[in-house]
Amino acid sequence: MDIGYTLMEKGIKIDNLQKQIDNREIISKKLRKPLMTFSDDNGSELFPEKWKDIIIGKGIPVTCAVSTNNISSPYMTWYEIAQMQELGVEFISHGHNHTNYTTLSEAAIIADIEAAQALLKEHSCTYDIHAYIEDAYNDDIRNILRNYFRCAVITGANATPVPYPPMKTYGIYRIPMLIDGTTKWTLNQYKAKIDECVANNGWLIWTTESENENFDSTLQGYIEDLIDYARGLGVEIVNMENGIDIIGNVIDIGDPSDDSYFNLGCDGNFRTNDMCIDNTKYDFYDVITAFPENKVTVAWIGETKTTGFPHTDQGLLTTYRLGGNTIDRQEFRPKGFNEIWARYVNSNGKWGYFKPLTSLSGATADRPYDNYVGCSYYDITLDKPVWIKTAGVHEVDTLTITTGATTNGNITITTSLGADIIVGVTAEMTIAEVDAAIREATFTGFNVSGVAGSGIIVFTDLIAQGGTAPVFDDTGITGVEATFVRTATGVVSVWVDATGNPV
C-alpha cells in the first residue's frame, strides 16, 4: 500500500469537507436500508451468560446500557465490561444513578449525565448515546440531552411501529422482546416485526433485561433464529452507534414541542411541526394513530398499496392528524383523475368510508362503491348522469375464537368473496396469539378490526356488495375452534337516472 498516497487522499477529502462546511453545504452519502439492533438494559452480571454464546456463535454486536454507579454485583464489574467489549459489545449511558430524570432538577440531571459520561469515556465506552430510565422524558429533558448525546432511546410496546427516517432522535423506540417483562411472543410474531422493518427500511431495536428470568433458553433460541431470518432478508445487524451513523437524521433542529422543529432524514424525507412528507408507502389499513401527531402527512400510494382506495391507480394520500374526530381526515387524489376523495375518523377512532368531494365520471363498470344516498356520477357508457338512490351495505362478518392451538398446523379462513387465507399456528398458542396470527395475514378487499388479542375479529368488505357466508376451517388438526356470525349482509347500491329508473 502507498501510505503517502493514502494520506494525501485523506487530506484531499478533509480539504473538500472543509469547503463544504465553509459553503454551508450538506452532502449526505447515507443509504437508507433495514437495520436491526439488540440492546440490553442495566448491565446485569447475567449479561455475559445470556449473550456471550449468541455474540460469538452468530458474530453480532450487542448494545448494553449501564448505570455507571451500579458497577459490581449484581451488575457487571468494569473488568467484565472490558471483557465483553473485546467481543464487540457496545456500552452506552443509562445515567449514573439509574434515576428517573423527570424527578430531578435541571442541575441534578446535568450532574448525573456528566458523571456517567466521565466514567464511560474513561473506560472507552460509547458515552454519547442514552437510554432513558423508566422511559420517562419530556421536552425539557430532551433539550438537556441535546447538549450531551447524539440520540436517546425509549422503550415502546409490541405494537409500537418500527422507527424509520426521519428519526425522532431523542425518542427512538425500542421494541421489548418480552411483553410486560413476562410473556414471549411467538416466533412468527417476532419475524413479522422484522418483515415490518424490511418493508419500511426502518431500524428495529430489540430490548431485553438479562436479569429477567423470562429471558430464558427459549428466547435465546428465538434470537438466534431471528438473526438468521433477518440476515436472509438483507437486514444489517448493528450496534447503536453504527445504527445512528447509518440511519440518523442529516439535520435535526429543535424539539417536537418547539415551533422551530425541523428534521431531515437520511433519505430526504423531512418533518416539521407543520407538515411531514413521507414516502414510506402507507396503506388503506393504517389507523390515524399510525401517523405523526399534530402533523399533515403527505404520502405517495404506489401500485402495490392501492387496495381499498377508491381507485386502483396510484395516488397521493394526505392525512390530517390535528386533534380529534371529524377534524382528523384523509384526502386521496388518484393519479390521472381530477378527483378528491375524503374520509373522516369516527367517534370510535375508526375510519369511515371514502366519499368524493369532486364530480365523478367514468364507465358503468367503474362506478364508485360509496354507501350514501345522492352520490352523483356521470356514466360515460350510458352518456348521462346517475345517482345512488338506495345506499349499499358493506358485508360485515365477525369471527369469534373460543380455543387456542394444541398442535402445529394450519387454519383456513374462506372470506365472503371466496378467497382462502391460510394461517399457520403452533402448539400452545393462546386465543390472543391465534388472534394476532390471523390479523397478521393479508385479507385483500377487507378491513380487519376489533380489539387486538380479544379473540373477536371483525371483517368488513370494502365494497358495498353481496357475498357468500365466510367459513372457518380447522378440520380438527390444530385444536383451534372459531365461528363466524354475519353482522351485516352486503347489498350493492341502487343507481338511478334523472327519471328515477334503475340503471
Helix (H) or strand (E) holding 245: helix 240-247
Let me know if 236 is exposed, middle or buried by CB neighbors in 10 A (0-12, 13-18, 19+): middle
b/e 12-43 (16+ beta carbons within 10 angstroms → b): eeeeeeeeeeeeeeeeeebebbbbbbbbbbbb
Give pLDDT, residue 7: 40
Q: Which amino acid is at 72?
A: S
* pLDDT for res 23: 57
Q: Give 273-331 as a 3 state SS string.
A: CCCEECCCCCCCCCCHHHCCCCEEEEEEECHHHCCCCCCCCCEEEEEEECCCCCCCEEE
- Rounded CA gap, 122 and 71, in Å? 14
Instruction: Quote the DSSP letter at residue 494.
Output: E
Q: Report whether 301 contacts 315 (CB < 8 A).
A: yes
What confidence score (pLDDT) does residue 8 get? 44
Q: What is the DSSP string of 121-164?
A: HHTT---SEEE-STT---HHHHHHHTTT-SEEEEE--TTSPPP-
- Nearest Cα neighbor of 173 from 187, 189, 157 is 157
pLDDT tens for the chain, 503 residues: list them. 343 434 444 444 445 545 545 655 555 666 789 999 999 999 999 999 999 999 999 999 999 999 999 999 999 999 999 999 999 999 999 999 999 999 999 999 999 999 999 999 999 999 999 999 987 888 899 999 999 999 999 999 888 889 988 899 999 999 999 988 899 999 999 999 999 999 889 999 999 999 999 999 999 999 999 999 999 999 999 999 999 999 999 888 888 776 677 888 888 777 776 666 666 668 888 888 888 878 888 888 887 788 888 877 788 999 998 876 668 899 999 887 778 889 998 877 788 888 888 878 889 988 887 667 888 889 999 999 999 999 889 999 999 999 999 999 999 999 998 889 999 999 999 999 999 999 999 898 888 988 888 999 999 998 888 889 999 999 778 999 999 999 999 999 999 999 999 99
Q: How many CA atoms lie within 13 A of 123 on its CB side?
A: 25
Are the beta carbons of 52 and 87 closer than 8 angstroms?
A: yes
**What is the reported pLDDT for 302?**
80
* Domains annotated on the chain, with CATH: 30-247 (3.20.20.370), 274-357 (no CATH), 394-488 (3.90.1160)
As a whole number of angstroms, the distance between CA 362 and CA 339 comes to 12
Residue identified by cell 346517475 is 386
